Amino acid sequence: MVLRFLIRLVANNDQLVQKLSESYPMRKAAQFVVRAVYQSKNILQESGLDKKLTPEEFREAMRKIAQNLQGQIRQASDDFKRKMK
């Protein structure tokens, strides 16, 4: 109940949303998501998997995307740790 109130309060406060969107962690999170989406798209195109897939091909593509995403998460975490020192 209280959490809903707080979320509603934050979402309806334009100045707070603007400040949060300009913050470093939010910008980095947005950059990370965009990078992951574009790299996943590129992997699918390079692999020739941007057409209709069989279930086995789809599972393999999802495995590749998951591995790529895990690598990016590790890299982002390492970058963040280095910058915080």
Could you state, in order of their start, the residue ranges of all structural domains in the chain? 2-84
pLDDT in tens, the chain (85 residues): 788 888 888 888 888 888 888 899 889 999 999 998 888 888 878 877 667 778 887 888 789 888 988 998 899 888 888 888 7
3-state helix/strand/coil string of the chain: CHHHHHHHHHHHCHHHHHHHHCCHHHHHHHHHHHHHHHHHHHHHHHHCCCCCCCHHHHHHHHHHHHHHHHHHHHHHHHHHHHHHC
The pTM assigned to this predicted structure is: 0.47
